């Protein structure tokens, strides 16, 4: 097990820079999730840590050792691929023991390591099968087994669950978390699924367009998103945004929408009078109240079983509410809502959080 240190890491493909200086310190035994939309550079960063992509600039240390120019085989890490990447001409047991055989581990040791991993993952009856005779979930398990047999310094996961169906994904997610609890191994997990990020991570690294947007615990990112990107990416359904201009004076402040409506907020530092600002509130934090201050027209009702998502329009801007109140299943054409101040997020004209 080891710490991983990423300093000012950049990546260019030709003239195009896809990672613009990433700094990240991962503690021994920590579970880090890199999350972001496709093309944000999260997989590239993971592959650079694995040694599968060259580092254009900056430094990567694994367990204090500078690894920029080390081949993947000398970094002592294990990786689980999205496609599983099982060796099709080898049995499950051979797939799992390949890394140990390459390291000339004694036969008895290999047998016991494979046996232990197979028992942990429930692969015992499948050891002699070829990958093509396995279901998607079983292949996924073999890929995990291949990673854990040799107790590497760190585990890297590249969207390991995205080829599984929703039910299986949920189950494997829990198993990965349990496995991390048992092994306590340093892990880096790449995903575009914010639920996976929220449920698995000790700390989430939110990335967008090759830049780290925010690093923090899942609840940090949920409660205090650093900018509009993180605010919109974390949480489902996504946060509502109302764009307007910030006005303050006499210890009071408000955000004025384009049609002149003013939404009062408490004054925030870092916001300039008369400049553009964005107000954010999560759908689950909007209050439905008969004496609410804002009128909203109902456009669509989406029941999810757990609750109901209402698509509304407030002063011409589209808006969502998530509520467990089944009374709104057949709502009137318009409703009254409130925006509780403690749940309001305000962002300045550059999209950064203002407190």
Binding residue for another protein (CB under 8 A) from 66, 103, 178, 272? 103
Binding residue for another protein (CB under 8 A) from 2, 34, 55, 78? 78
The distance of closest approach from Cβ of residue 113 to another protein in the complex, given in angstroms and rounded to an integer, is: 13
Q: From residue 25, give the alpha-carbon distance in Å to each of 55, 62, 140, 252.
A: 17, 10, 28, 41
Q: 5-34: which residues touch another protein (CB under 8 A)?
A: none
**Hey, what's the torsion of the CAs at 114, 118, 123, 125, to 10 degrees?**
70
The distance of closest approach from Cβ of residue 163 to another protein in the complex, given in angstroms and rounded to an integer, is: 5
Q: Which is nearer to another protein, 90 or 276 (CB)?
A: 90
Q: 296-325: which residues touch another protein (CB under 8 A)?
A: none
Q: Of 337, 338, 315, 348, which Cα lies nearest the Cα of 245?
A: 348
- Does 50 interact with another protein (rule: CB under 8 A)? yes
Residue found by looking up tokens 């997610």 in the block: 173
Output helix, strand, coil percentages for the chain, rounded to the nearest 5: 30, 35, 35
- Does 71 interact with another protein (rule: CB under 8 A)? yes
- Does 194 interact with another protein (rule: CB under 8 A)? no
Answer yes or no: are the C-beta atoms of 292 and 340 closer than 8 Å: no
Binding mask 130-159 for another protein (x = CB under 8 A): xxxxx-x--x------x-------------
- Does 163 interact with another protein (rule: CB under 8 A)? yes
Q: Which is nearer to another protein, 47 or 282 (CB)?
A: 47
Radius of gyration for the alpha carbons in the chain, expressed in angstroms and rounded = 24
The distance of closest approach from Cβ of residue 12 to another protein in the complex, given in angstroms and rounded to an integer, is: 14
How far is residue 275's CA from residue 255's CA, in Å, rounded to a whole number?
Answer: 10
- Does 88 interact with another protein (rule: CB under 8 A)? yes
Buried-state track 255-294, b at ≥16 Cβ within 10 A, e below 16: bebeeebebebeebeebeeeebbbbbbbbbbbebeeeeeb
Binding residue for another protein (CB under 8 A) from 19, 22, 79, 198? 79
- Does 86 interact with another protein (rule: CB under 8 A)? yes
Residue found by looking up tokens 């409660």 in the block: 223
Binding residue for another protein (CB under 8 A) from 1, 17, 18, 52? 52
335's tokens: 């409703």
Return residues touching another protein (CB under 8 A): 50-52, 71-73, 77-79, 81-89, 98-99, 102-103, 130-134, 136, 139, 146, 163
């Amino acid at each position: 097990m080891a710490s991983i240190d990423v300093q000012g890491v950049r990546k260019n493909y030709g003239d195009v820079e896809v990672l613009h200086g990433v700094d990240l310190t991962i503690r021994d035994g920590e579970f880090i999730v890199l999350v972001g939309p496709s093309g944000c550079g999260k997989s590239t960063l993971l592959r650079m840590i694995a040694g599968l992509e060259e580092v254009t600039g900056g430094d990567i240390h694994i367990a204090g050792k500078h690894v920029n120019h080390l081949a993947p085989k000398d970094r002592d890490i294990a990786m689980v691929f999205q496609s599983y990447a099982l060796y099709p001409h080898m049995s499950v047991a051979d797939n799992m023991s390949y890394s140990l055989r390459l390291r000339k581990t004694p036969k008895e040791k290999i047998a016991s390591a494979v046996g232990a991993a197979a028992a942990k993952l429930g692969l015992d009856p499948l050891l002699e099968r070829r990958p093509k005779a396995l279901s998607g979930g079983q292949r996924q398990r073999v890929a995990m087994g291949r990673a854990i047999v040799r107790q590497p310094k760190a585990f890297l996961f590249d969207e390991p669950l995205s080829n599984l169906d929703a039910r299986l994904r949920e189950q494997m997610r829990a198993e990965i978390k349990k496995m991390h609890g048992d092994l306590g191994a340093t892990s880096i997990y790449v995903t575009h699924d914010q639920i996976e990020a929220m449920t698995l991570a000790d700390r989430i690294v939110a990335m967008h367009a090759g830049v780290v947007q925010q690093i923090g615990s899942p609840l940090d990112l949920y409660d205090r998103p650093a900018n509009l990107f993180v605010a919109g990416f974390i949480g489902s359904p996504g946060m509502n945004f109302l764009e307007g201009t910030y006005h303050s004076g006499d210890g009071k402040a408000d955000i004025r929408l384009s049609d002149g409506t003013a939404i009062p907020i408490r004054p925030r530092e870092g916001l300039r009078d008369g400049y553009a600002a964005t107000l954010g509130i999560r759908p689950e934090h909007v209050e439905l109240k008969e004496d609410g201050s804002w009128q909203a027209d109902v456009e669509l009702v989406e029941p999810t079983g757990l609750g109901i998502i209402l698509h509304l329009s407030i002063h011409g801007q589209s808006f969502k509410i998530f509520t467990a109140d089944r009374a709104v299943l057949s709502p009137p054409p318009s409703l009254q809502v409130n925006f509780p101040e403690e749940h309001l997020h305000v962002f300045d004209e550059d999209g950064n959080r203002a407190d």
